[in-house]
Amino acid sequence: MLAYSLGLPHPLDATFLCALAFPAASGIINVYIQSTGDAAMKTLLIQNIASLVSCDDEDRVYENVDLYAENGVIRAIGQNLDKAADETIDARHMLCYPGLINTHHHLYQQFSRNLPQVQNMELFDWLKTLYEIWKNLDENVIRLSSLTGMGELMKHGCTTCFDHHYVFPAGAGDLIGTQFAAASELGIRMHCSRGSMDLSVKDGGLPPDSVVQTVDEIMKDSARLIETYHDASFGSMRHVALAPCSPFSVSAELLRQSAILARQYHVRLHTHLCETKDEENYMLEREGMRPLAFMQTLGWVGPDVWYAHGIHFNDEELKLLADTGTGVCHCPISNMKLASGIARVPEMLKLGVPVGLGVDGSASNDGSSLMEELRVAYLLHRLNSSREAPSGYDILKMATRGSARLLGRNDIGTLAPGKCCDLFLIDSRRLELVGACFDPKSVLATVGVRGAVDYTVVHGKITVKGGHLATIDEEKTALDAQRVCEGYLAR
Ligand code: ZN
């Protein structure tokens, strides 16, 4: 088991680092790190990768290289690596990328997609209508919505998923434990959140009484979940964040207490912020402050905080985010569907605000493909900002190393020796990519890939093969999920 702490090199690496630097055909230098010699280790060799886009600090693209991993960690990227491995992938026509990282989702919404009654609504009415369905959540709905939502993410290159779960109906069971179990079945790296709401309709909030809890209940359960599941070590498969729902469904006290508890346990803070003009007006009326100013008074800025959406920030607020390292998860499809607005991503990137990508909940997307999100983000900002828009490669980096930063991780998000082996592969010979791969860095956002990827690898383990989930019975899961979804909606 890897036991070294996040961000620091493995102590053995210093001893064994041979740094066999040699120029590749493309003039790129490869670094080789020798084996740690663990007798029980699992190894993976990916051979002859046509193009490997590393998203590293030097923006390196390797051509015709092998990648070798041991126990989930990349040990070498180089040409003709002479290594025997437990599993070998022939990638001679494949493009290889760091696994995509989703930094905002509500997996439980998987079973409330494409509902005709909410199709023309904006956020507040949309939420009030859907809470009447969501109040019937239980462990079975959570298990199958998590399996199907994360399964779809993985089929489109995602290797780490953050989920913002904030609906805890009384007696619904261990919903977060169920999510972590589903992630283990799939083999995806999972960041769960202990979300929360304590302001129901009778207190001026949006949700019904049956899905809100007291601050005391929420704090006790938050501490329990962090102590049970949070693992901050290098290569961790499980993190917990604290994530009250939004300023209009929680009290100031809940936000304040959440920030204090998160910092005691060194876990991260997340919520929705500046998603709509309705939210801004609500906060001005209730608190006499704009949303970010209100959050700042409660300790909610800093490098351990990231907000979903962040559409309606003004110039000073963007500067505050940059100065404090407070992050933003950009969710373009959801923002378009709910007519919420366009996040000022070009300005954020210019100022140095940490920005990642997310699909948002399945009900406002209505899917779970970060691959689709890449292209929509690219096109949306081209339309809105023309020359100032991020490039296709900028958008890819947002969904990989940018998202990793929001989750507080530097062991994922790039491909290099010493990083986790989280990646995906796409066969460049597929029909829709013919003649389109001259710039592999940007092709995912500019041209886009509609079908499933060929391989997804998480921590050195093949989780998607030939476009299908390799860890669960995909067909049976889909049938079970459809049956449970119908029963849930019929309640
Ligand atoms: Zn959301």
Q: Can you tell me the distance from the alpha carbon of 52 to that of 32, in angstroms, rounded to the nearest whole number?
A: 16
Give the model's confidence band at 36: pLDDT under 50 very low, under 70 low, under 90 confident, else very high: low
For the residues 104-108, what does the mean pLDDT come to? 97
Cβ contacts of residue 415 below 8 Å, gap of 6+? 52, 53, 54, 55, 56, 67, 74, 77, 96, 97, 98, 423
Neighbours of ion ligand 1 (CB under 5 A): 360
User: Cα of 484 to ligand 1 centre, how many Å?
Assistant: 23
CA distances from 414 to 116, 135, 460 (A): 41, 39, 14
pLDDT exceeds 50 at position 467: yes
What sign does the dihedral 413-417-420-421 (CA atoms) show? Answer: positive
Confidence of residue 33 (pLDDT cuts 50, 70, 90): low
Higher pLDDT, 73 or 209: 73
CB hemisphere CA count around 211 (13 angstroms): 27
- Distance between Cα 10 and ligand 1 center (Å): 36
Q: What are phi and psi of 147, to 5 degrees?
A: -65, -45
Average pLDDT in the 183-188 region? 98
d(CA 150, CA 158): 8
According to the model, what pLDDT value does residue 326 have?
98
The letter for the amino acid at 117 is Q
User: For residues 329 and 399, what is the distance between their CA atoms, to the nearest angstrom?
Assistant: 9
Ligand 1 centroid vs 275 CA: distance in angstroms?
A: 9
Alpha carbons 181 and 161: distance in angstroms, whole number: 14
pLDDT above 70 as % of the chain: 92
**Rounded distance from Cα 361 to ligand 1 centre (Å):** 5
What distance in Å separates the CA atoms of residue 316 and residue 321, rounded to the nearest whole number? 9
Distance 282 CA to ligand 1 centre (A): 18
Is residue 431 scored above 90 in pLDDT? yes
pLDDT in tens, 295-310: 999 999 999 999 999 9
State the distance from the centre of ligand 1 to the C-alpha of 238, rounded, in angstroms.
20
Q: How far is the CA of 333 from the centre of ligand 1 (A)?
A: 11
- In total, the chain counts a number of residues equal to 491
Peptide bond into 422 cis (omega under 30): no
pLDDT at 182: 98
Centre of ligand 1 to C-alpha 272, Å, is: 6
The more confident residue out of 161 and 24 is: 161
Q: How far is the CA of 32 from the centre of ligand 1 (A)?
A: 41
Beta bridge partners of 76: 32, 68
User: Where residue 16 falls among pLDDT bands split at 50, 70, 90?
Assistant: very low
> Ligand 1 centroid vs 359 CA: distance in angstroms?
9
The 10s digit of each residue's pLDDT in 209-260 is 989 999 999 999 999 999 999 999 999 999 999 999 999 899 999 999 999 9
CA distance 94 to 285: 55
Alpha helices in 232-307 (DSSP H): 252-265, 277-287, 291-297
Ligand 1 centroid vs 127 CA: distance in angstroms? Answer: 11
Alpha carbons 289 and 330: distance in angstroms, whole number: 23
- Ligand 1 mean position to 443 CA, how many Å? 28
CA Rg value for the chain: 22
User: Ligand 1 center to residue 126 CA distance, Å?
Assistant: 12
Per-residue confidence (pLDDT) for residue 13, from 0 to 100? 40
Interval 153-171 mean pLDDT: 96
Section 166-193 average pLDDT: 97
Give the mean pLDDT of 256-276: 98
Residue 309 Cα to ligand 1 midpoint, Å, equals 8
More confident residue, 34 or 109: 109
> pLDDT grade, residue 206 (50/70/90)?
confident
Residue 389: partners with Cβ closer than 8 Å, 6 or more residues away? 346, 378, 381, 382
User: How far apart, in Å, are the Cα atoms of 256 and each of 218, 250, 296, 325, 421?
Assistant: 13, 11, 10, 19, 37
Residues 406-418 have a mean pLDDT of 98
Q: φ and ψ at 50, to 5 degrees?
A: -60, -50
Going from the Cα of 164 to the center of ligand 1, the distance in angstroms, rounded, reads: 7
Strands 305-309 and 269-273: parallel
Q: Cα separation of 50 and 43, whole Å?
A: 21
**Spacing, Cα 97 to ligand 1 middle (Å):** 26
Distance from Cα 364 to the centre of ligand 1, integer Å: 8
Question: What does the pLDDT read at residue 15?
Answer: 31
Cα(220) to ligand 1 centroid in Å equals 24
pLDDT for the residue numbered 423: 99
Rounded to the nearest angstrom, the distance between the alpha carbon of 360 and the centre of ligand 1 is 5
pLDDT-derived band at 37, boundaries 50, 70, 90: low
- Going from the Cα of 197 to the center of ligand 1, the distance in angstroms, rounded, reads 14
Q: What is the pLDDT of residue 373?
A: 98
| Banded pLDDT at 205 (limits 50, 70, 90) | confident
pLDDT digits (tens, 9 = 90+) for 335-346: 999 999 999 999
- Interval between CA 432 and ligand 1 midpoint (Å): 32
Alpha helix (H) residue ranges in 328-442: 332-337, 345-351, 370-385, 392-397, 403-406
Q: Residue 82 C-alpha to ligand 1 middle, in angstroms?
A: 46
pLDDT given at position 17: 36
Q: How far is the CA of 144 from the centre of ligand 1 (A)?
A: 19
Residue 73 burial (CB count, 10 A) = 22
Residue 357 confidence (pLDDT): 98
Pick from 15-19, 214-218, 321-325: least confident: 15-19
* In the predicted structure, residue 317 carries a pLDDT above the cut 80: yes
Whole-number Å distance, alpha carbon 335 to ligand 1 midpoint, is 10
Residue 391 DSSP one-character state: P
pLDDT at 20 exceeding the cut of 50:
no
